[in-house]
Structure 1
Amino acid sequence: MSLLLTRRRTAAAVLTAALLVPLAACGNDGSDAEKDSAAGAKPSGSASASGAPAAELTVLAAASLTDVFKEAGAAYEKENPGTKVKFSFAGSQELAAQVKQGAPADALVTADTKTMDGLSAETGTPTVIAKNRLVIAVGEGNPEKVGSLKDLADTKLKVVLAAPEVPVGRYSKQILDAQKIEVKPVSQEPNVRAVLSKVELGEADAGLVYKTDAETAPDKVDAIDIPDAENAVASYPAATLKASKHSEAAAAFVAWLSTPAAQKILQGAGFQQP
């Protein structure tokens, strides 16, 4: 009886040990997960500290936003660790063509509402994030003594404008036509930065650009203000792209552009409140 009892107790102990092995393994998995959490490990696609989903975003943006968006992008990445924002800058009409051709991107910001409205099938609901006005850009010191829009009609001046299908070109035509001023440009450029470059390089005496663009080259060009009554207001709408693979992260970035932090950066660069 004693030997039989001993054998039974030994068998029970072996069975209990076998059952405890998988339980111990499960306990180790939970412990590792807790360690990873404590160490700050973050699974792919998780939210940043501010709640925005982590992602690598591609934003198509109007050329006139080149400098300010680089600053804004850096600020957004700092505020949202784990998120990277890459910009592709071009004339709004070029950006529209890219969207229609299916270029991989997550959000779009144009320099006019007309271009954005033409992409309603490809975008979410747009929000105007900033406004701008035009100025006459001339060489440093204004060697040709340009003082107003009427001076641009002087055939001795080399004036450069953006092409009419470009937002700034359309605004330029609008204000010149309203004042019945006929200008024969020496060239029509694909975006506002190309117009500014012509003036910077001395290849043109004057050009119509956004105020914010002229302010990026204070040592190379002077800006001649245009009275509000003769000027045009440029609106900058931002929207997510329906083809985005990071729709939540794209929506978070577009929404951020209207926050006080983003508006401070935009207005610091000379953009007006939306």
Structure 2
Amino acid sequence: MTARALAALPVALLLVLTGCTGQGTGRQGTGPSATPSSAAPRASTAPPLTGSITVDAAASLNRVLPELATQFERQYPGTSIDFSFGGSSALAAQIVSGAPVDVFAAASTTTMRTVVDAGRTAADPVVIARNRLEIAVPAGNPAGITGLADFADAKRTVVVCAKEVPCGAAAQKAFRLAGVAAEPDSYEPDVTAVLTKVRTGEADAGLVYATDVEAAAGQVEGIAIPQADEALTSYPIAPLTESRNAALAEAWTDFVVSNGGDALQAAGFLAPR
């Protein structure tokens, strides 16, 4: 072999080794030392919550839900939660008819079922609290009301919720359990109307929720009834399919479910089962 050939051997060997490792060729290698062609994509983030929603809710929630809304709006600046309170059955009928509502909180699983069956809920309803009935009388109990039997006394002026409203349905159940043939002087559209008549002295007694008696402390007094625990009312909540701000409706519903327990129980509601 000539001297020139011997001198070329180290160079040839180096080229062969370089080709085997994939380095020094100007191409990307396929091993761990390969340089990535681009940076890893960044994780996407959800847009911030903004705008407003309308919440239809049972009249008996008219104190605690606005308190929760204040907390929510403080946590999410730029959002606004607006409320329409009333009898659950009337609110449900409006929703089924196409009213522009984002979230519904009812005082009855049966009433919520009418909204679910109409295909108006965007998620399964979640029960957030329960409530029990109590007799409300004006401060000092001037008529001497003692129990449900007084609702059958024609000499007394007594009021209850309309039968189709959840508080009215619960009242009818309590009367049946007590064996009382009640003769109310009026059937009111929601529990707030019943409480107003008692508070202003227009009625000697009314059948409302324990939370309503607590909210009107000093203006009315409450009388517990033995049948209350057998006529409990459950409160489900759900975002609605027709929401104009689905992200906010879902976030608000989740907030109430996750954070509303303490506020609801502080207001006199019972914990959900």
Q: Shared topology, TM-score over 0.5?
A: yes
Call closer, same or farther: CA 1:162–1:181 in 2, change over 3 Å: same
Assess if the C-alpha contact under 8 Å between 1:175 and 1:230 holds in 2: no
Local SS of the residue matching 1:119: helix
Aligned to 1:165: 164
The one of 266, 269, 272 aligned to 2:267: 269
Q: Give structure 2 stretches of 5+ with no counterpart.
A: 1-45
Q: Distance in 2 between matches of 1:158 and 1:229?
A: 21
Shift of 1:228: 5.1
Aligned to 2:184: 185
Letter in 1 for 2:64: V
Q: Does 1:212 align with 2:208?
A: no
Aligned to 2:53: 57
Assess if the C-alpha contact under 8 Å between 2:210 and 2:268 holds in 1: yes
Local SS of the residue matching 1:253: helix
Deviations 1:85-104 (A, max 9, x none): 00111100111121022111
Shift of 1:230: 6.1
Between Structure 1 and Structure 2, the one with more helix by share is: 1
Letter in 1 for 2:181: E
TM-score normalised by the chain length of structure 2: 0.79
Q: Does 1:75 align with 2:66?
A: no
Call closer, same or farther: CA 1:266–1:229 in 2, change over 3 Å: closer
TM-score normalised by the chain length of structure 1: 0.79
Q: Which moved more, 1:159-168 or 1:66-75?
A: 66-75
Aligned to 1:46: 47
Shift of 1:229: 6.3
Shift of 1:110: 0.4
Shift of 1:149: 1.5
Assess if the C-alpha contact under 8 Å between 1:199 and 1:207 holds in 2: yes
Letter in 1 for 2:47: S
Aligned to 1:66: 62
Shift of 1:244: 0.6
Assess if the C-alpha contact under 8 Å between 2:132 and 2:229 holds in 1: no
Assess if the C-alpha contact under 8 Å between 2:134 and 2:228 holds in 1: no
Assess if the C-alpha contact under 8 Å between 1:73 and 1:85 holds in 2: yes
1:219-234 maps to which residues of 2 (within 5 A)?
219-227=218-226, 231-234=230-233
Assess if the C-alpha contact under 8 Å between 1:179 and 1:230 holds in 2: no
Q: Distance in 2 between matches of 1:217 and 1:130?
A: 20
Aligned to 2:84: 88
Aligned to 2:246: 247
Shift of 1:150: 2.0
Shift of 1:146: 1.5
Call closer, same or farther: CA 1:229–1:57 in 2, change over 3 Å: closer
Shift of 1:46: 3.0
How many residues are paired up?
Answer: 224
Letter in 1 for 2:140: G
Deviations 1:148-175 (A, max 9, x none): 2223222211110111001000000011
Shift of 1:54: 2.2
Letter in 2 for 1:112: S
Q: Distance in 1 between matches of 2:246 and 2:183?
A: 45
Call closer, same or farther: CA 1:217–1:229 in 2, change over 3 Å: closer
Local SS of the residue matching 1:118: helix
Assess if the C-alpha contact under 8 Å between 1:134 and 1:231 holds in 2: no
Letter in 1 for 2:211: T
Q: Distance in 1 between matches of 2:133 and 2:203?
A: 17
Q: Give structure 1 stretches of 5+ with no counterpart.
A: 1-44, 48-52
Q: Runs of 4 or more off by more than 3 Å in structure 1?
A: 228-231
